[in-house]
Structures are given as structure tokens and as C-alpha cells.
């Protein structure tokens, strides 16, 4: 989904507010269709140099770790574009760093779909490096795509395991308006907040639509906090706090064991025709429905939530 210019401005303002605690930034992401990813994540040695790390010197882009390697004793202690050289040039800087080699997961950047214990379906995205050229700054953003209901309503899609899938029209446009859709977003430093197979707690701000459209009554900035376990199969296991990070309760329910598991989806940025654009929601529905059917029992989660 393309976050509108208004959201880009909103995210930039949020990043300035949260910079002191999360060292973050804002990005704009385009997504016109979604494709489910099936492959796992490749593990890499942490003491390898990152070949994607570049530095601009005298108006020219150079391979960052090659530049650091020319004077490692001096440059391994420096930051370039907000990134510590020893974090991305670990092989080059291993003699000058006390950090030990370890196994780390590949980048968690991308889009993920998940449902919560109340049967609400969310699209979450993690993007890094697109704010003021700082490659270490990342933005987490999520919003609800729709929900699962017990009885059929107009425009709903039946699920094989019970219930019906209802998509929010405002959230399934190619440009998502933060004044119409409640968007939670927060920024974080990739080098300091992604550690040992975990995304560490990240506070989330609210868009203006949350004042009237937040189903949980979350209308205050940074009351909602997200963290996640990073799995080798490409999934993220999300957990949330609704009290500024004091307690995390999302994963506590055993009635909905598949809830809050973020399934990776792949953005297809191909241009759509006018007819395809008009029916954009239908491009997404067939791709997300199998995920929900596989995550049984979704209807039980809806019933459980209503009894709480």
C-alpha cells in the first residue's frame, strides 16, 4: 500500500518526537499487490562485511568497507551516515572491536500480514534507510485491513474454517490516508534495536484517524509498543503492550495460538491498469485468504475475544 504524502509528513514529525528514545526515521512505501513468500531467511555470519554498505566521498559513492579498510584503526571507530562502521564492516574491524562473531538473521525489512486474537487482520511493514539518507533508521508501520465476522455481510468472503472475511475499503486503496485509516508507526535504530533474533520494544505513534477508529481505544502516542521474535522461516512473532511497555499480553492467549504470527508478503510494484486499480482489493483477497484458512481456528479467536 502506498502511504500518502500526508502520512509521510506525519511519520517525519513522529520521528522527530521519538528520536530521543528510538533513534528513528520515516519512509514512504508503495505496494499495489501482495504475493505470499514461502522461502525461509538465510542466516549470515555476523563477522562478514556488508557489501551493500556504501559511503559518498567527494560526490562519488564508494564501497563502505573498502573505504574503512584503508584506515581501519581510525575508521572502525567512526560512524558513517549514522551507522557504526564496526557493525557493518565486522570482518574488517574485528581486530578493533570487542564484539564477538555470531549468527544473525537476514534483514527483517518487508511487509507482513497477521491477525490478532479478535480476528482483525493487519498489514505491517518495516522499511529502513529511506529517511535523510540514514541507512540505520527504520520505520515500523501497521494498520488493519479488515476483520473476521461470524455472519455474512455485504461484500464479505467466506472462510472454509468458519466465519467471513470483511475488508476495510479505506485500508485497501493504493493510497492509504492516515486521516481515514488508523495507522500505528514508530521508528528505531536497526543496529541497536534488532538484536539476537529479536526486534526490541518500539513505541508506536498514532495517526489522526485513530482518534475515532481505534478499536482498542488507543489514541495516545507511544501507548502501544511492539516487539517481535525473528524466525528463520521468514515469520515474525509479534507481541504488543498497551500500557507504554509495562506488560505484554498479546501472546498470552492459548485459545488463538496462530494469532500475531506475521507472515511475510512480497510487494509487487508493477503498474496497474485503470480496471485493475478499480479492483485492486480483489488482487489482495485471494493471497491473504489462504493464510487465514491455514491459521485455524480463526472463528474461535473471534468468539473468545467477544467473551473477554
Query: Can you give the three-state secondary structure of the chain, one letter per residue?
Result: CEECHHHHHHHHHHHHHHHHHHCCCCCCCCCCEEEECCCCCCCEECCCECCCCEEEECCEEEEHHHHHHHCHHHHCCCEECCEEHHHHEHHHHHHHCCCCCCEECCCCCEEEEEECCCCEEEEEEEEECCECCECCEEEEEEEEEEEEECCCCCCCEECCCCCEEEECHHHHCCEECCCCCCEEEEEEEHHHHEECCEEEEEEEEECCCHHHHCCCCCCCCCCEEEEEEECCCCCEEEEEECCCCCCCCHHHCCCCCCCCEEEEEEEECCCCCHHHHHCHHHHHHHHHHHHHHHCCCHHHHHHHHHHC
Radius of gyration of the chain (CA): 20
Q: Between vectors from CA 118 to CA 233 and to CA 30, what angle results, nearest 5°?
A: 55
> Does 133 or 102 have the greater pLDDT score?
133
Cell numbers linked to 63:
564501497
Question: Would you say residue 210 has pLDDT above 80?
Answer: yes
Q: What is the mean pLDDT of residues 165-187?
A: 90
Q: What is the mean pLDDT of residues 68-88?
A: 89
Cell numbers linked to 44:
549470515
Q: Between vectors from CA 86 to CA 85 and to CA 87, what angle results, nearest 5°?
A: 90
Of all residues in the chain, what percent carry a pLDDT higher than 90? 31
The widest CA-to-CA distance across the chain, in whole angstroms, is: 67
The pLDDT tens digits for 263-283 are: 998 654 333 333 333 333 344
Q: Between vectors from CA 225 to CA 248 and to CA 222, what angle results, nearest 5°?
A: 135
Task: Please give the pLDDT value at position 236.
Answer: 95
Question: Would you say residue 167 has pLDDT above 50?
Answer: yes
Q: What is the mean pLDDT of residues 224-245?
A: 93
Question: Would you say residue 180 has pLDDT above 90?
Answer: yes
End-to-end CA distance of the chain: 32
Task: Please give the pLDDT value at position 70.
Answer: 94
The pLDDT tens digits for 18-42 are: 333 333 333 333 222 333 343 334 4
Task: Please give the pLDDT value at position 144.
Answer: 93
Which range, 131-140, 208-217, 259-268, 292-301, has the best average confidence (pLDDT)? 208-217
Task: Please give the pLDDT value at position 106.
Answer: 59
Task: Please give the pLDDT value at position 149.
Answer: 84
The pLDDT tens digits for 2-21 are: 454 344 434 433 333 333 33
Residue 298 pLDDT level (bands cut at 50, 70, 90): low
Angstrom distance (rounded) from CA 30 to CA 231: 25
Cell numbers linked to 148:
473476521
Question: Would you say residue 239 has pLDDT above 90?
Answer: yes
Amino acid at each position: 500500500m502506498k502511504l500518502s504524502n500526508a502520512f509521510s509528513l506525519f511519520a517525519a514529525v513522529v520521528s522527530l518526537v521519538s528520536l530521543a528514545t528510538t533513534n528513528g526515521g520515516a519512509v514512504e512505501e508503495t505496494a499495489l499487490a501482495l504475493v505470499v513468500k514461502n522461502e525461509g531467511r538465510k542466516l549470515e555470519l555476523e563477522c562478514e562485511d556488508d557489501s551493500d554498505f556504501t559511503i559518498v566521498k567527494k560526490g562519488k559513492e564508494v564501497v563502505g568497507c573498502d573505504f574503512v579498510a584503508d584506515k581501519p584503526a581510525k575508521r572502525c571507530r567512526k560512524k558513517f551516515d549514522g551507522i557504526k562502521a564496526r557493525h557493518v564492516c565486522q570482518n574488517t574491524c574485528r581486530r578493533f572491536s570487542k564484539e564477538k562473531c555470531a549468527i544473525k538473521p537476514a534483514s527483517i525489512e518487508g511487509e507482513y500480514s497477521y491477525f490478532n486474537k479478535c480476528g482483525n487482520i493487519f498489514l505491517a511493514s518495516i522499511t529502513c534507510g529511506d529517511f535523510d539518507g540514514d541507512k540505520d533508521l527504520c520505520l515500523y508501520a501497521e494498520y488493519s485491513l479488515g476483520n473476521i465476522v461470524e455472519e455474512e455481510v455485504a461484500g464479505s468472503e467466506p472462510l472454509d474454517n468458519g466465519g467471513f472475511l470483511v475488508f476495510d475499503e479505506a485500508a485497501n486503496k493504493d493510497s492509504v490516508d492516515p486521516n481515514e485509516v488508523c495507522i500505528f508507526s514508530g521508528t528505531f535504530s536497526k543496529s541497536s534495536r534488532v538484536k539476537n533474533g529479536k526486534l526490541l520494544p518500539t513505541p508506536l505513534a498514532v495517526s489522526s484517524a485513530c482518534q475515532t477508529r481505534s478499536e482498542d481505544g488507543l489514541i495516545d502516542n507511544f501507548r502501544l509498543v511492539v516487539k517481535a521474535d525473528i524466525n528463520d522461516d521468514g515469520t515474525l512473532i509479534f507481541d504488543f503492550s498497551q500500557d507504554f511497555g509495562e506488560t505484554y499480553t498479546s501472546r498470552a492467549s492459548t485459545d488463538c495460538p496462530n494469532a500475531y504470527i506475521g507472515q511475510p508478503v512480497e510487494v509487487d510494484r508493477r503498474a496497474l491498469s485503470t480496471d485493475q486499480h478499480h479492483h485492486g482489493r480483489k488482487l489482495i483477497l485471494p493471497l491473504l485468504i489462504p493464510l487465514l484458512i491455514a491459521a485455524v481456528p480463526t472463528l474461535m479467536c473471534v468468539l473468545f475475544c467477544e467473551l473477554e
